[in-house]
Structure 1
């Protein structure tokens, strides 16, 4: 019976190996995703929005016109404003390429770079969010795998303090023993990091659990918000052999500001077809809310607001949907909170590594003990049993 228990413990340990590797990878990519804007600033000089003259940011319509002057046949898809020290990113299509990106300095109006494909920021968010698994039928296996790691985080949050007796002492009397061997050293590091990261584990676990729930809702055709109805056919102007012209982006922004006087637009999506809308989103007075909490969908033909959203009109599920990202990525307080999230993300990654090292050492000991026990049993049973044991091993 003792041998069977050891074998089951060994099997359990080996089966949990892929989970630990996946968990560590998700922790590391999430940590990098938190600082992806800053990493972009460091790695790519053309992504920096230098402002030597301390000029105010130019309005979005001027930045759009700068791209059109640079690429006359550009079809603008969306405008994304980032941190003040990063350029404004404008996505557009052209006859030569369907996916292009322009880096426009919002202070000088200069187009600093033209490129195609996805940015490092988008890549890191996608790698962390769904492991680059494809999306089909409103779900991604990778998204489910990442979301399921929230259960691991919450499980560690619950079981850690139970296993570590009087864990609160680590807050006032931290201990890392360097003279008791590697096993004691790794164990002290793991426990110390865990105690100081309890609040971070709670935030990551709850927001991750929301992402998992959200993925299940998407899979079943349920969304926090209903999209506005397409523009009525009667509002689409009729022309003779010429495509009708939309209202200007300046007029669409004015309509959004009228609906939300305090909005700071960070996202402007152009209509994808004749019955689509201008989609203007941004931040506002709400501290915890993301950059899509204030949003307006504007008819490209009449300039009327088809739908508007703001925190005051949100239900519980909609509120959670708009505060999850700032809490998960640490963007709620700007650069300083992102630095805090980055540090604790590294700490959580390190905890997963130390936990894995502790597990491997215990597994190695368990494997050795089981091997010795089997050898001893074979020796006690005599030569025949030993031969049978050797046959079983081969």
Structure 2
């Protein structure tokens, strides 16, 4: 017995640390996180803010969303209201409008500032390569549907347009989209690597407590460590799901694969053109008023109607939405419809084209939390907050370890060694 103890003392077993696999994953987790941290933070934060865009836009509309209903007075037609809008706000061009079934709701116009007029437009110059002009600043204007008076406006539309483009491409076009795509792939790898690092070597009461609970009464460094690991685990599956749906939108190869898998047409837009009516100058298009009345009759439960204003007279397809509520990118209990401008009827696209639209909208709704109403938004918002915090808490873990006092580390090691030696001496 004594000899055995002496042998153990002179030839102690090596301390069992992390496996080689976990050390490699830990190294990758650290440096991939440091490299992509700022991008991931920007993308997740902007995406989280966008979740409640509809509620914030409505809040910004304030009292202008409602009007006093005059007695024995009919609402003006959309055509009349749009004319009134352009007369009162001549520097803007409307591109869609919202009208409501409720008598006390105002008429809403989405518009953009007109691009500045080219001073040399009338001069004889050599034709230049066609360039895309500025898009203008987006805004919503609210009009009294009985008088046509502009009651208020909000540029919250512009704010969320910018937020969405920060999220998708960092406001840097194709290059930004590529950077976001790479950062999203890295974040996906980080999530999987984080799960492997989180997974305890052995499951017992202590490891279960450490893995699933935040220890109380600890200093900020330990608290930060627990936040990173515990909340990171709880948000893992939805975070992976949100990342995958984002990658599907970011990469065409994944978009096409998703469409093919679920029965959608990859070249849906080119197929759709074959089924759309041809422009006929002798045919008269239905008025906006006709469209409003027709769709409210077809969908009696709907409360809101939206129509995109065609850019030119040669357009033969009008995009309309009819639902209980239509937001910036959401539609509740209703339908988005491509209609024939001469008849007002929905265009009968083949099944694979219809599936393309269904899959595209469903993927977007899953990504931003519109799948479950208010619950889905709150759930996605909370996951977004956690994902936004992961680069921060991860950086603080690295920074804290990097700046630990060498003297303190040596003292801790000496204490552990002293306890180990004392334990062996007691056994001897």
TM-score per shorter chain, which class?
A: 0.5 to 0.7
Q: Give the structure 2 partner of residue 392 of structure 1.
A: none
Q: What pairs with 1:101-250 in structure 2 (closer than 5 Å)? A: 101-104=139-142, 111-114=150-153, 119-134=158-173, 140-165=174-199, 169=208, 174-179=213-218, 181-214=219-252, 224-226=268-270, 227-229=272-274, 231-233=277-279, 235-237=280-282, 246-250=285-289
Q: 1:354 aligns with which of 374, 393, 397?
A: 393
Q: 1:281 aligns with which of 321, 324, 349?
A: 321
SS in 2 for 1:236: coil
Cα distance 1:155–1:94, how it changes in 2: closer, same or farther (>3 A)?
closer
Q: Give the structure 2 partner of residue 372 of structure 1.
A: none
Q: 2:343 aligns with which of 303, 310, 323?
A: 303
The answer (yes or no) to whether the contact 2:214–2:223 under 8 Å persists in 1 is no
Q: 1:91 aligns with which of 93, 100, 111?
A: 111
- Mark the structure with the bigger radius of gyration: 2
Structure 1 residue 146: deviation in Å?
2.4
Q: 1:79 aligns with which of 83, 89, 97?
A: 97
The answer (yes or no) to whether the contact 2:97–2:308 under 8 Å persists in 1 is yes
Measure, in 1, the Cα distance between the counterparts of 2:211 and 2:198: 15
Q: What are structure 1's unaligned runs of at least 5 residues?
A: 1-5, 135-139, 239-244, 369-394
Q: What are structure 2's unaligned runs of at least 5 residues?
A: 1-22, 118-134, 257-265, 407-428
CA RMSD of aligned residues (A): 4.9
The answer (yes or no) to whether the contact 1:294–1:311 under 8 Å persists in 2 is no
SS in 2 for 1:332: helix
Cα distance 1:33–1:104, how it changes in 2: closer, same or farther (>3 A)?
same
Q: What pairs with 1:255-334 in structure 2 (closer than 5 Å)? A: 267-276=306-315, 277-282=317-322, 291=331, 294-300=335-341, 302-303=342-343, 305=345, 307-308=347-348, 314-315=354-355, 318-334=357-373
Which one has more relative contact order, counting CA pairs under 8 Å at least 6 apart? 2
Structure 1 residue 364: deviation in Å?
5.5
Cα distance 1:86–1:149, how it changes in 2: closer, same or farther (>3 A)?
farther
Cα distance 1:23–1:224, how it changes in 2: closer, same or farther (>3 A)?
farther
Length, aligned pairs only: 337
Q: Deviation string for 1:227-267 (max 9, x for gaps)?
A: 4356424x2228xxxxxx74211323456678888877654
Q: 1:69 aligns with which of 80, 84, 106?
A: 84
